[in-house]
C-alpha cells in the first residue's frame, strides 16, 4: 500500500503555498481536500510532475520571449540606424535647396489619433499582458524564475527519494532473528501457536472481540473505551493455542499497529458492519501487506442497526481483499463480539490458516525475543512484555535489550502467573532489567553481566554519536530564525507515560503538529516511562517546559514542587485529549491578527450646537455598537460627506467609551460640523480575528 504524505508537507518540500498545490491537485481530479489532508505517493508524484512540466513550459516561454525581445531590440536598433541615415541624407539635401524653395515647401499633415483611443489601446494591451502573465505563473512558485527553474526538477527527484525512504521507514521489517525461522525444519523443532494481530479502526470492536474470545473484560478498563496499549494474550480451543496481539485503533498509534502487524503470523482485520472501511482500516491493510501475512476479515457488529456486511465486502474490493463468496481467497467472517455470534467459526478459520503456514520454532537455538510493550511499574521496576521467537528464557538468565540489561528476576505468563521458564511462541513478562526497553527492540541472552554492560556501553556510544550528528544539521526553520525572517516561539514539553508505546505515539503526534505550524516549535525536552517525580519538575523548571503525563500519576512531592515553582503539569488518560490541548496551546501562542470590520450603524435624529463643545449629532444606534476612537463614515442621500474618527461619545451627560443598540447617544468630532438630521453613520474598528491553522480539523 502506498505511503501517505500530507498536502502542506508536500507543498513545503516543493517550495509552494498550500493553496497553489491544492489548485494543482484539483486539476488532477483530487477534490474535497484541505492542506491537512493526506494523499498517496503516486498522487504526490503526479502533482510534482505537473509542477515540473509547468516549470519547463514557463522556462521555454521565457526563453522564447527573451529571444523575441532580443530580436525586437535588434530590429529597433536597425530601424533607428536607418532613420538616422535618412535624416542625415535629408539634412544634406536641405542645405542644397534654394531658400525660396524652403519657404514655399509645406510639410504634409499627419492625422493624429485621439488621445482617448490611444489610452484605451494601451490599457487593453496592459490587461492582455497581465492575463498572459497570470496564466504563465499559475503553477510556478515564486522562486522558479527562468534562471532557477531547474530547482523544481531537483525538488521532484528529492521528493521521490524522501517519500520512498519514508515508506521504507514506516514498514521497517523486524530483524531476521526476531521473525519466524525460515528454511529447513530441524528434527528437534516444535510446532508453535500462531501469533494473531487484531487490527482495525478505533471503536470497531477489536478489544471487545478479544474479550469475548478469552472471556475477560479489558475494554471497561480502557480510558474512553479505546485501547491505548498493545497487549498479548492466549486463547485455547480444542487443545490448540492461539496468541492474540491487540493494538490501538486511534490515529496516533500508527507505530504500535505497525509493530503488531510485523510480529503476527495472521492479521485479523476488524471492520464494523455499521461503519465500513475507515482510515485506520486502510492503514491496517497496509501494515499487513507490508509484513506479508495473510488477512482474515472479521466483520463485527452485525447485530447493530444499519449493519451491512455486503457493503463492507464491496468496499474492501478497492484494497484487493476479495471475499470467498465473491470469487476471491480472503476469508471474511461476520461476527458479533457483543452477542458472541460466530466466534467459533472465526477461531476455526484462524487455525486453518495457521495449519497451512506450518509454524515452527527451535527450542534449542539461541534465545531471541521481540519486545511487544514495555513500561515502568512502581513496585516491580522496568517491565517488558516479549514474544519468545526462538530458544527459551528462564529466571536467572542475563539478557540485553537495546540499552537495557539485567538478570531476570521474575517471569509472568499472560495471565500474570509466575513461571520459571517460557519456550518459543508464547508471550511472557520479564522483570529485572536496568531500564525500560523500547517496544520493537530485540532481547537476547548473554553469558554474564559484564558482557551485557560492554554491549550496552557500545550501543549508548553509537546513539550519542548519532544524536550529535543530528543536532549539527540546521533545519530551515532554524535558518529563518537566525536570519530574523521568522519569529518562532518555543513550546517545550516533557513526556511521561506508563509504557514506551504510548510515549512513541504521543511524540509522533507532537512532531506532526510541529511540522504544521512555522511560528511555534515543539521541543521534546525529555521523555520517559513511570510516574512524574520531583526531578521531572526540576528539569521542567530549568527548561521552562510543560509536563505531559499519559496514564501516569504524579507523586505528592512532585505536585507540591510544581505548584510552588509554577510548573504546568497535565495528566491524561486519552491521547487525543492531550493532542487537542497542545493544539490549543500552539494556537494561543500565535501573534493576533486584526481586521477592520463594521461594528455598527447609527442615524442622526437631532442636531445640538453648544458653544464650548461644538456640534453634537444626537443619534440612535440602529445595530451593533459605537465606540470612541472608531472610524466612521457619514453618508447623506447615499453620498459620503465625511470620513474620520469618532472623538466624543456621550450618553446623556456622561462620556462613555461604548454604547450598544438601540440606545441613543451624542456623537461629535472636531473635524466635522456639518451634521444634518437623517445622516447615516457606519462605524468600523480593528477587530481581532481567530487564527486558522491547518490542523484545526485534524485529530
Q: Give 223's DSSP letter.
A: G
Kindly write down the DSSP assignment for every residue of 271-286, as one continuous string: EETTT-S-HHHHHHHH
Burial class of residue 369 in the structure, from the number of CB atoms within 10 Å of its CB (0-12 exposed, 13-18 middle, 19+ buried): buried
Q: Which region holds residue 342: left if phi is over 0, alpha if psi is between -120 and 50, else beta?
A: left
Parallel/antiparallel/unpaired status of strands 442-446 and 398-401: antiparallel
Query: Position of cell 451627560?
Result: 653
Marked catalytic residue, from 43, 201, 204, 207? 207
Marked catalytic residue, from 43, 201, 204, 206? 206
CB 343 within 8 A of CB 213: yes
Beta bridge partners of 398: 407, 446
The Cα–Cα gap between 171 and 463 comes to: 22
3-state helix, strand, coil in the chain (%, to 5): 40, 30, 30
CB 269 within 8 A of CB 277: no
The Cα–Cα gap between 249 and 548 comes to: 22
Output the 3-class SS for 293-328.
Answer: CCEEEEEECCCCCCCCHHHHHHHHHHHCCCEHHHCC
Annotation says 216 is catalytic: no
Annotation says 498 is catalytic: no
Give the closest residue to 510 by CA, choosing from 570, 568, 578. 578
Query: Position of cell 460627506?
Result: 641
CB 507 within 8 A of CB 527: yes
At 122, phi and psi to the nearest 5?
A: -65, -45
At 178, phi and psi to the nearest 5?
A: -95, -5
Parallel/antiparallel/unpaired status of strands 520-529 and 489-497: parallel
Marked catalytic residue, from 201, 204, 229, 250? 250
CB 271 within 8 A of CB 301: no
Annotation says 669 is catalytic: no
Annotation says 207 is catalytic: yes
Positions annotated as catalytic residues are 203, 206-207, 250
Amino acid at each position: 500500500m502506498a505511503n501517505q504524505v500530507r498536502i502542506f508537507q508536500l507543498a513545503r518540500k516543493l517550495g509552494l503555498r498550500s493553496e497553489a498545490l491544492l489548485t494543482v491537485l484539483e486539476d488532477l481530479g483530487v477534490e474535497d481536500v484541505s492542506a491537512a489532508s493526506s494523499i498517496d505517493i503516486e498522487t504526490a508524484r503526479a502533482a510534482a510532475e505537473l509542477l515540473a512540466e509547468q516549470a519547463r513550459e514557463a522556462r521555454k516561454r521565457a526563453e522564447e520571449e527573451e529571444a523575441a525581445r532580443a530580436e525586437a531590440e535588434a530590429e529597433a536598433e536597425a530601424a533607428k540606424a536607418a532613420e538616422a541615415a535618412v535624416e542625415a541624407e535629408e539634412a544634406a539635401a536641405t542645405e542644397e535647396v534654394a531658400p525660396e524653395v524652403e519657404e514655399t515647401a509645406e510639410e504634409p499633415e499627419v492625422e493624429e489619433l485621439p488621445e482617448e483611443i490611444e489610452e484605451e489601446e494601451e490599457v487593453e494591451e496592459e490587461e492582455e499582458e497581465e492575463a498572459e502573465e497570470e496564466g504563465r505563473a499559475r503553477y510556478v512558485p515564486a522562486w522558479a524564475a527562468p534562471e532557477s527553474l531547474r530547482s523544481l526538477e531537483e525538488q521532484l527527484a528529492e521528493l521521490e527519494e524522501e517519500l520512498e525512504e519514508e515508506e521504507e521507514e514506516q514498514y521497517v521489517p523486524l530483524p531476521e532473528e526476531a521473525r519466524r525461522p525460515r528454511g529447513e525444519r530441524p528434527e528437534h523443532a516444535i510446532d508453535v501457536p500462531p501469533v494473531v494481530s487484531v487490527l482495525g479502526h478505533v471503536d470497531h470492536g477489536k478489544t471487545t472481540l478479544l474479550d469475548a474470545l478469552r472471556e475477560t473484560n479489558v475494554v471497561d478498563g480502557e480510558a474512553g473505551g479505546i485501547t491505548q496499549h498493545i497487549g498479548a494474550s492466549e486463547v485455547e480451543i480444542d487443545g490448540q493455542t492461539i496468541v492474540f496481539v491487540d493494538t490501538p485503533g486511534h490515529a496516533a498509534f500508527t507505530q504500535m499497529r505497525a509493530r503488531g502487524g510485523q510480529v503476527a503470523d495472521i492479521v485479523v482485520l476488524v471492520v464494523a458492519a455499521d461503519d465500513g472501511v475507515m482510515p485506520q482500516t486502510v492503514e491496517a491493510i497496509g501494515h499487513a501487506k507490508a509484513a506479508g501475512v495473510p488477512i482474515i476479515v472479521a466483520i463485527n457488529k452485525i447485530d447493530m442497526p444499519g449493519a451491512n456486511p455486503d457493503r463492507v465486502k464491496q468496499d474492501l474490493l478497492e484494497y484487493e481483499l476479495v471475499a470467498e463468496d465473491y470469487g476471491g481467497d480472503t476469508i471474511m467472517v461476520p461476527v458479533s463480539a457483543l452477542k458472541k455470534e460466530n466466534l467459533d467459526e472465526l477461531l476455526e478459520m484462524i487455525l486453518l490458516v495457521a495449519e497451512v503456514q506450518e509454524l515452527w520454532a527451535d527450542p534449542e537455538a539461541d534465545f531471541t525475543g521481540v519486545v511487544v510493550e514495555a513500561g515502568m511499574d512502581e513496585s516491580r521496576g522496568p517491565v517488558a512484555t516479549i514474544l519468545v521467537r526462538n530458544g527459551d528464557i528462564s529466571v536467572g538468565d542475563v539478557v540485553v535489550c537495546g540499552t537495557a540489561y539485567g538478570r531476570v528476576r521474575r517471569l509472568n505468563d499472560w495471565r500474570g502467573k509466575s513461571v520459571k521458564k517460557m519456550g518459543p511462541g508464547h508471550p511472557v513478562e520479564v522483570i529485572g532489567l536496568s531500564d525500560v526497553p523500547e517496544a520493537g527492540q530485540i532481547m537476547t541472552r548473554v553469558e554474564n553481566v559484564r558482557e551485557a554492560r560492554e554491549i550496552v556501553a557500545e550501543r549508548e556510544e553509537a546513539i550519542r554519536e548519532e544524536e550529535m550528528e543530528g543536532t549539527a544539521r540546521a533545519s530551515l526553520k532554524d535558518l529563518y530564525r537566525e536570519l530574523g525572517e521568522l519569529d518562532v516561539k518555543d513550546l517545550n514539553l516533557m513526556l511521561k507515560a506508563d509504557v514506551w508505546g504510548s510515549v512513541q505515539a504521543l511524540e509522533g503526534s507532537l512532531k506532526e503538529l510541529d511540522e504544521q505550524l512555522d511560528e511555534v516549535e515543539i521541543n521534546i525536552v525529555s521523555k520517559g516511562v513511570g510516574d512524574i517525580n520531583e526531578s521531572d519538575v526540576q528539569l521542567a523548571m530549568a527548561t521552562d517546559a510543560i509536563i505531559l503525563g499519559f496514564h501516569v500519576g504524579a507523586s505528592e512531592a512532585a505536585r507540591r514542587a510544581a505548584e510552588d515553582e509554577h510548573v504546568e503539569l497535565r495528566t491524561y488518560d486519552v491521547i487525543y485529549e492531550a493532542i487537542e490541548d497542545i493544539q490549543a496551546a500552539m494556537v494561543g501562542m500565535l501573534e493576533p491578527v486584526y481586521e477592520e470590520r463594521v461594528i455598527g450603524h447609527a442615524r442622526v435624529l437631532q442636531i445640538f450646537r453648544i458653544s464650548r463643545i461644538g456640534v453634537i449629532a444626537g443619534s440612535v444606534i440602529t445595530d451593533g455598537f459605537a465606540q470612541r476612537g472608531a472610524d466612521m463614515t457619514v453618508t447623506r442621500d447615499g453620498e459620503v460627506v465625511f470620513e474620520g474618527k469618532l472623538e466624543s461619545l456621550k450618553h446623556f451627560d456622561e462620556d462613555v467609551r461604548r454604547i450598544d443598540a438601540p440606545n441613543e447617544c451624542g456623537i461629535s468630532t472636531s473635524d466635522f460640523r456639518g451634521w444634518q438630521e437623517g445622516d447615516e453613520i457606519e462605524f468600523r474598528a480593528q477587530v481581532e480575528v481567530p487564527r486558522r491553522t491547518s490542523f484545526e480539523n485534524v485529530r
